[in-house]
Amino acid sequence: MPKPPSSPQSPTTRLVTGGRRVEWTGTAEQPGAVVNPPVWRASTHLYPDTAALNSGPQTNEDGRFFYGRRGAPTQWALAEALTQLEPQAYGTMLYPSGVAAITGALLSVLSPGDVLLMTDSAYDPSRSFADGLLKRFGIETRYYDPLIGSGISSLVCERTRAILMESPGSLTFEVQDVPAICAAARAANPDIALLIDNTWATGLFLPALELGADMSIMACTKYIVGHSDVMLGSVSATERWYPRLRQTAQALGHVVSPDDAWLALRGLRTLDVRLRQHQASALRIAHWLAEQPQVARVLHPAFPSCPGHAIWQRDFKGSSGLFSFVLEGGTDMARAALIDTLELFGIGYSWGGFESLAIPVDPARCRSATSWPPAGDRNALAVRLHIGLEDPDDLIADLAKGLQAFTMAA
């Protein structure tokens, strides 16, 4: 399936038009008869004769029927729309979860004996995969300070084959200098693969491949789907790396259901308006929290106090609804009292849906190259919030009750 021609349309428009090919949204009698492609459910694709069946590997091309595991118009439409969301992407592979997307991308570029550089602020399942399965396969992972910038070149050795970035980090929200890391790493090793977990911003707010990355990974479970009802992941890659990504995904049998792809495609159409509302509400609540005596600091890339804020201003087109705040003193019990008192914030993993969430986070347990809390800071207890689409005034009132409970329990 060739990449559609470049379009001058804005990203907002591409969210609406991406993947809506006439041949996928209509019938022979009425091309383009529906707005969205239907849900194509099929494990077996039939051939008209044995000559067609034996026509060779060219039948296994993107956008051509081959076998259910290779997808059909529902999955193809989503993959094409996600490709158009990420400038410089050549193609996109879909995965049954965000973790599957991360692991699939890494396995497509790493071999036994290789070294992987991973940001110390990475999503915990990424670290678990690196320290577990990759280690079993003879792949060494070395963690680096997320604020290293061009200094990454000092860590690239002859065995370094990939770097996994995540900007901002999903617990402590340091913003990485993606262009500097990519340029320095390529200068040290032109064959290195540069991957980034772009779930927080999506391609709408961070054009990761334009900034130098080779693969942009998203847990589509979160903002792409947007309704907390689908597990899904994606990797959009440049023309150089897409064939290896695709080959590995097919070898591992990665596939997503057409029903899940259809729901993700539906969610994608409203990503722009949802993400901007998440941003506006989160910023309002974050600024309110920063003024509360129980809060030592707010970890939000849009705050000047957040590590890498100047880079966020330079590279990002916006911020999402996920951030953390650090409590002033207190105990684990007091933090639990804060969270348990909340009525409008659910307690649960994930984020990116329409609902607000709150969980306690302890970054120290998943740090090896940097320390938590930062040197000279005695406050370590943190709470991560996802701000949903509820009225921010109601969420602020709810948090005020939670902070009062924290004070009483501290």
Q: What is the pLDDT of residues 271-306, one digit of tens each?
A: 999 999 999 999 999 999 999 999 999 999 999 999
C-alpha–C-alpha distance, residues 330 and 117, integer Å: 35
Torsion sign, CA atoms 327, 328, 331, 335: negative
Q: Does the structure show a pLDDT above 60 at 5?
A: no
Kind of pairing between the strands at 382-386 and 322-327: antiparallel
Q: Considering 90, 95, 123, 144, which one is annotated as catalytic? A: 123
Which residues pair with residue 160 across a beta bridge?
115
Q: What is the pLDDT of residues 190-201, one digit of tens each?
A: 999 999 999 999
Order of all β-strands in the sheet with 91-95: 91-95, 233-237, 215-218, 193-197, 160-166, 115-119, 140-144
- Name all domains of the chain by residue range, CATH numbers in brackets: 11-268 (3.40.640.10), 272-409 (3.90.1150.10)
Q: Is pLDDT at 33 greater than 70 in this prediction?
A: no
Residue-wise pLDDT for 227-279, tens only, equals: 999 999 999 999 999 999 999 999 999 999 999 999 999 999 999 999 999 99
pLDDT at 186 over 90: yes
Q: What value, to the nearest 5°, has the Cα angle with vertex 346 and ends 398 and 327?
A: 60
The model's pLDDT over 144-166, given as tens digits with 9 standing for 90+, comes to 999 999 999 999 999 999 999 99
**Set 20, 70, 127, 222: catalytic member:** 222
- How far, in Å, CA of 348 to CA of 140, rounded? 32
- Whether 47 is a known active-site residue: answer no
Of 69, 159, 240, 317, which one is the catalytic site residue? 69
Closest CA to 234 of 123, 407, 78, 348: 78
Band of residue 36 on the pLDDT scale cut at 50, 70, 90: confident
The mean predicted confidence, pLDDT, of the chain is: 93
Residue 373: C-alpha distances to residues 141, 228, 292, 376, 377 (Å):
23, 31, 20, 8, 6
Render the burial of 111-123: b for 16+ CB within 10 Å, e for the rest: eeebbbbbbbbbb
**Of the listed 114, 120, 177, 197, which one is catalytic?**
197
In this structure, of 19-28, 134-143, 287-296, 358-367, the range with the lowest mean pLDDT score is 19-28
Tell which wins on pLDDT, 23 or 332. Answer: 332
196 forms bridges with which residues in the sheet? 165, 216
pLDDT of residue 1: 52
**φ and ψ at 118, to 5 degrees?**
-130, 135
Determine the pLDDT at residue 22. 77
Task: Confirm whether 197 is a catalytic residue.
Answer: yes
Instruction: Please choose, from the candidates 233, 226, 225, 211, the residue with its C-alpha nearest in 3D space to the C-alpha of residue 89.
Output: 211
pLDDT above 50 for 2 = no
SS (H, E, C) the chain: CCCCCCCCCCHHHHHHHCCCCHHHCCCCCCCCCCCCCCCCCCCCCCCCCHHHHCCCHHHCCCCCCCCHHHCCHHHHHHHHHHHHHCCCCCEEEEECCHHHHHHHHHHHHCCCCCEEEEECCCCHHHHHHHHHHHHHCCCEEEEECCCCHHHHHHCCCCCEEEEEEECCCCCCCCCCCHHHHHHHHHHHCCCCEEEEECCCCHHHHCCCCCCCCCEEEECCCCCCCCCCCCCCEEEEECCCCHHHHHHHHHHCCCCCCHHHHHHHHHHHCCHHHHHHHHHHHHHHHHHHHHCCCCEEEEECCCCCCCCCHHHHHHHCCCCCCEEEEEECCCCHHHHHHHHHHCCCEECCCCCCCCCEEEEEECHHHHCCCCCCCCCCCCCCCEEEEECCCCCHHHHHHHHHHHHHHHHHHC
Mean pLDDT of 330-343: 97
Q: What mean pLDDT is predicted for residues 81-109?
A: 97
- pTM confidence score: 0.94
* pLDDT at residue 7 is higher than 70: no
Q: What is the mean pLDDT of residues 368-374?
A: 89
Q: Are 142 and 134 in contact (CB under 8 A)?
A: no
- In this predicted structure, the answer to whether residue 380 has a pLDDT above a threshold of 60 is yes
Residue 374 confidence (pLDDT) above 90: no
